[in-house]
Structure 1
């Protein structure tokens, strides 16, 4: 009987936000077809090493790796009867591959399929995230290059500080994303396979199958690992692979969450200043009550989900710490939720970040006006130095500037007027020798230091090499523009 989706809870991670690729990766269809592939790999390796497994059995298993709707129904009935999901699917697979029914799962324990499948999903999930992250970095790199020369007010303690450029600020975001890319790749490349280890990791059942031949048991482990696409298997395991592996995989995802939260927060603060905004659709409504509003809903979504992503990692720490001896089952329900949610959340954070990076709007005139309000105070040291070069007294010039600065500050803070420090300097005869230089002394481009050059060198020496590999190039090439879901 079909269930009305509007009458039952669905996680918004899969029903509302996630990419179809990531949502499929953790679907029942993918899970159970992967189990079948693992059973096939085991049978192929066992046959190759001399066990009596027919060609017909291998052929029938190969032809029935994907489950039909009818097979899902059979599996559900089997599980209800047997109260064991793996054995339910062993019997279901046997229905469509009868020649293999007697050898499916031969010598294996449930964790042969459940844990090895999880490791496959971790690897494929990390591959998807690496591709998505590469695209996001490339988009922000294009933004940084476009605005590498545009001066903007820097902030320390969220107070006006020396100038930087819009592009230079973006490089701070990109650098952290590059570290996330490095960390996720490390986690992916460090992943091993559980392999063929038996009920408590001793391989006792397989040693019995091969009449005490240790060499064949070792070869079986290596063959199945290779058939499953892994370069190595963990040398020792218990019934499960160590849950510390989950810690190592989800840690860089949590770190990515921290990066995304910082970037999205910066953009939210800039949106309040009306200097930089995330994309805003022509028909988008910012507020149900205040029609003029342009709420930064994309960045708010990133921050919201990033917090969830950072917290999920805590579950892996607690699960790994409470695995008694060769295993307990209190990891199972937790991991069924934790691992898919971490990957789905990271996937959504990245797709939303891509959408933001592809449509950010910069308002140079607003930025210029804010600079004009603060730059006169920042330029006072330059003015003093210019007077000294003309033969003036440094201490006397300092006192003059101090007095005029306080007067201008009074205009700004007490009266709410514009900063008129430069007008006061121009009106004071003491500064007559440098009045013709004031315009050049106040050119914002002279206050940004090496920011434009830093952007250029950073993109060339760090970003381009990080993305100059087949994996990243392919992802960027097919990385179509993201249309954000509601």
Structure 2
């Protein structure tokens, strides 16, 4: 039997790079291994330009505008050839960041070939430990992935859900607390609850901080001061990190502490969990007949039962949200730990960020497509409401309580009397109206309660949807 591992192009081992790649391809520019090397290249080049622009090392010239443009073009033109070259270099160095350094030294020799400029190459990776480059690179990569890819897709999902909630704001729905018939609401209000929960998590993620540091092997600027004792290294570091669009962390060990990552992943995991709740609720509403899945899209619902359209979008989303959260949780728990001044557990762990975000993105894609394929079924909701007049026991006994508190006679034990009428058996409109008319209620209260139906007993549910605005 031929080995599938030997086939070219290589066959993906993971589902994200195989079956589901179209849904997550946007993350490759941010969270893949080549993206990491490209971002490292960007950070190294900007550090070199920063050092020379600030003339930190005495006697070192500044780059011309043309030379800066040529250096930055290394990043913008970074592609297959550069990926392959860097991989070959790493086979020799056995060190990924050192391979980036050597790669750039070769490029700099082409951009500034004069013998007088030969020393400029020594300012590549100047006074840096690998983590100075890596922490900034990961911060930029995660920032880009979240802001440019994940947030737009998550926001579009929540906006679609908000529109759906608004459209269905007035549609009466029998609630099911503990899985049992309960006080009616509206479908729009229930979707609005989930929408608002998701909106809160999006707001937290949108406000996330992305921290970075550049302060040497143990965070003391030891090598920096030894090399150039007269420089204000804290100011140089802060201006560089903030110039990259990150928040400067002034106090670290060899590594940036990754607490910001743990905070971000916890918020993303919470978004995932609320979305999971949405998927299970919508799945249940579909099973109850409250939503019909749009047909005629060429899909096969079941391989053997032609009548079925399975809610696979929501089931797929559930599974991928669970995978994403397993990874986000372990990332958040592990990345905040580091033995003494440094260990390398974070290096391996951070290479899974793309997988964690990818499964969340795939779930968002499936949930978005699932929602777009739904039609509300008011007739099914109305049937369940008509079959459960006993839910009106709540407003009747509540009105009796209010009257009893005002001294109206005959209102004793309202809960117990409604329990006797409704517990464990079905009642219809006639039984309820007969009961109401036998209570001796004031005429206006009797008329109001006798006219009430499960469809109209929805409180201010439609108005509550307005809180989404």
TM-score by length of 2: 0.82
* Residue 367 (structure 1) shift: 0.5
**Corresponding position of 1:87:** 98
Return the alpha-carbon distance in structure 1 between the equivalents of residues 357 and 126 of structure 2: 32
**Corresponding position of 2:36:** 31
Checking the alignment, whether the CA contact within 8 Å between 1:64 and 1:97 is kept in structure 2 is no
**Corresponding position of 1:351:** 365
Q: 1:78 aligns with which of 60, 68, 89?
A: 89
Return the alpha-carbon distance in structure 2 between the equivalents of residues 402 and 226 of structure 1: 66
**Corresponding position of 1:454:** 464
State yes or no: 1:254 paired with 2:280.
Answer: no
Q: What stretches of structure 1 move > 4 A for 4+ residues in a row?
A: 277-281, 379-386, 391-406, 423-428, 436-440
CA separation of 1:396/1:257 partners in 2, compared to 1, >3 Å: closer, same or farther? Answer: closer
State yes or no: 1:192 paired with 2:226.
Answer: no
Q: 2:219 aligns with which of 165, 184, 201?
A: 201
* Matched position secondary structure for 2:182: strand
**Corresponding position of 1:326:** 341
Checking the alignment, whether the CA contact within 8 Å between 1:201 and 1:237 is kept in structure 2 is yes
Checking the alignment, whether the CA contact within 8 Å between 2:44 and 2:125 is kept in structure 1 is yes
State yes or no: 1:228 paired with 2:237.
Answer: no
Checking the alignment, whether the CA contact within 8 Å between 2:393 and 2:418 is kept in structure 1 is no
**Corresponding position of 1:272:** 287
Checking the alignment, whether the CA contact within 8 Å between 2:393 and 2:422 is kept in structure 1 is no
Write the deviation string for residues 117-153 of structure 1: whole angstroms up to 9, x where unpaired: 0011122223133333322222111111111111110
Q: 1:422 aligns with which of 409, 426, 429?
A: 429
Return the alpha-carbon distance in structure 2 between the equivalents of residues 260 and 405 of structure 1: 36
Write the deviation string for residues 142-181 of structure 1: whole angstroms up to 9, x where unpaired: 1111111111101110110010001111111012112211
* Residue 192 (structure 1) shift: 2.0
Return the alpha-carbon distance in structure 2 between the equivalents of residues 144 and 373 of structure 1: 25
Return the alpha-carbon distance in structure 2 between the equivalents of residues 116 and 5 of structure 1: 33
Matches within 5 A, 1:94-113: 94-98=105-109, 99=112, 101-113=121-133
Return the alpha-carbon distance in structure 1 between the equivalents of residues 417 and 137 of structure 2: 75
CA separation of 1:83/1:376 partners in 2, compared to 1, >3 Å: closer, same or farther? Answer: same
- Pairs aligned (count): 439
State yes or no: 1:341 paired with 2:355.
Answer: yes
Matches within 5 A, 1:400-479: 421-422=428-429, 441-456=451-466, 458-460=467-469
**Corresponding position of 1:160:** 181
* Residue 95 (structure 1) shift: 2.6
CA separation of 1:89/1:278 partners in 2, compared to 1, >3 Å: closer, same or farther? Answer: farther
Checking the alignment, whether the CA contact within 8 Å between 1:267 and 1:278 is kept in structure 2 is no
Write the deviation string for residues 288-324 of structure 1: whole angstroms up to 9, x where unpaired: 1222222111111121111122222332344245411
Give unmatched runs, 5+ long, in structure 1.
Answer: 413-418, 461-486
Checking the alignment, whether the CA contact within 8 Å between 1:153 and 1:370 is kept in structure 2 is yes
Checking the alignment, whether the CA contact within 8 Å between 1:13 and 1:345 is kept in structure 2 is no
* Residue 31 (structure 1) shift: 2.1
**Corresponding position of 1:9:** 13
Q: 2:63 aligns with which of 26, 33, 55?
A: 55
Write the deviation string for residues 322-379 of structure 1: whole angstroms up to 9, x where unpaired: 4111111122112211x21222222222233322333431100011011100025525
CA separation of 1:354/1:401 partners in 2, compared to 1, >3 Å: closer, same or farther? Answer: closer
Checking the alignment, whether the CA contact within 8 Å between 2:300 and 2:309 is kept in structure 1 is yes
State yes or no: 1:171 paired with 2:179.
Answer: no
* Residue 41 (structure 1) shift: 1.2
**Corresponding position of 2:146:** 126
Q: 2:310 aligns with which of 292, 295, 301?
A: 295
Return the alpha-carbon distance in structure 1 between the equivalents of residues 267 and 465 of structure 2: 26
TM-score by length of 1: 0.79
Return the alpha-carbon distance in structure 2 between the equivalents of residues 348 and 426 of structure 1: 52
CA RMSD of aligned residues (A): 3.5
Return the alpha-carbon distance in structure 2 between the equivalents of residues 459 and 437 of structure 1: 34
Return the alpha-carbon distance in structure 2 between the equivalents of residues 240 and 54 of structure 1: 30
CA separation of 1:444/1:102 partners in 2, compared to 1, >3 Å: closer, same or farther? Answer: same
Q: Which protein is richer in helix relative to its size?
A: 1
Q: 1:213 aligns with which of 230, 248, 251?
A: 230
**Corresponding position of 2:117:** none
Between stretches 365-374 and 62-71, larger displacement belongs to 62-71
